Structure 1
Amino acid sequence: MDFSFLPSDEIRDMINSAEDELARRQTQDAFNAELAMLQQKYRDALGIEPMDWQVWEEPDNALDAPGLDDKVEHNEKFYRSLRPCNLAVPGASGYRQVSRQGVPIVWIEPTEERDGYAKGERAIRGGVTYESLCDKNMNMPTPDSPFWEQVEESDE
């Protein structure tokens, strides 16, 4: 990016804003990691197994909610939880619709950054299967995208 046309005070403001946002994201990531660890300790103490294609039921509390990577069924669709202690209803933010067979499904635009596609996650768009090249990928897969790599043709 060319910043030569900007006054120094605006560049400093941009740097400060970027540093603040980066700190906020790092705090959120650290919090989510700690929350996932606490939920796992809770499950271990009670002998609760990860959810593996169970029908979603509204949880009584956050620790009993789907955890990170738990898989649930809701309204005849399958979802993977993208966060620990997920109190959201599957189909909303915090879940990725998935195929029970493990094959990619049609790309669905993430509603927020933390719902973005993870590095290595696959999605189909326009009959082509793409693989995400970065974490928290909210970009639409296209043949010329620097964020996605075309991996194969699809029957979708």
Structure 2
Amino acid sequence: MIDNELQRRDTLATAEKQATELNTAYLAAAGVEPGQEWKQPTSAVDAYPKDWTVTFEGKTFVSLTPANVWQPPNGWREIVEDGGVPEYVAPTGAHDAYNTGDHVMFDGAEYVALQDGLVWSPADYPAGWEQQA
């Protein structure tokens, strides 16, 4: 009984890493590489792992969640080069909420998140954001 519990805990501790490794290996075998154009996954097997990059509509995005099957920008964060700031995208849940220090452009102004787990825009929850000068 104790051995079963220890095995269960070990499985829980390593399952996400193993699933990500298998997912990454499957994508590589299918010829899918980070930075390529986003393609709709057909199942969890060819879903994008966390931190995987894709291009979509001329922009580069990074996956915020393991087994990501969502079309950017939901579940993804835009990568902006040269110190640029990405446009605000309404989060669909905790997996793509904004966290302390995240910068966004909203209605032509730059804002920085003042707390973790922000799912509201600067207009909907001004106390969670600080407009930058």
Amino acid at match of 1:57: K
How many Å apart are 1:72 and its aligned residue? 0.8
Shift of 1:41: 3.0
Deviation >6 Å, runs of 4+: 44-47
1:71 paired residue number = 53
1:96 CA displacement: 2.9
Deviations 1:76-126 (A, max 9, x none): 2332222111112224x3223442555212212223343221332210124
Gaps of 5+ in 2: 1-11
Partner deviation per Cα, 1:41-77 (whole Å, 9 max, x = no partner): 32676795xx642211233542432221222112323
1:87 to 64, 69, 82: 69
1:1-156 aligned at under 5 Å gives the runs 36-42=16-22, 52-91=34-73, 93-101=74-82, 103-141=84-122, 145-150=126-131, 152-153=132-133
User: Which AA in structure 2 matches 1:56?
Assistant: W
Name the CA distance, whole Å, in 2 between partners of 1:94 and 1:116.
9
List alignment gaps of at least 5 residues for structure 1: 1-30
Q: Distance in 2 between matches of 1:100 and 1:52?
A: 17
| Cα RMSD (Å) | 3.5
Q: State the distance in 2 between where 1:97 and 1:119 align.
A: 17
Q: Check whether the contact 1:104–1:123 (CA below 8 A) recurs between aligned residues.
A: yes
Letter in 2 for 1:109: A
Q: Percentage identity across aligned positions?
A: 27
Contact 2:52–2:63 at 8 Å: present in 1 too? Answer: yes
Alpha-carbon contact 2:98-2:118 (below 8 Å) kept:
yes
Cα distance in 1 for partners of 2:36, 2:82 equals 15
* 1:11-63 per-position Cα deviation (integer Å, ceiling 9, x unaligned): xxxxxxxxxxxxxxxxxxxx9x9765233332676795xx6422112335424
Q: 2:63·2:75 contact (CA, 8 Å) conserved in 1?
A: yes
TM-score (norm 2): 0.63
| Aligned 8 A contact 1:120 1:133 in 2 | yes
The match for 2:8 is: none
Whichever of the two has the greater Rg, that structure is 1
TM-score (norm 1): 0.56
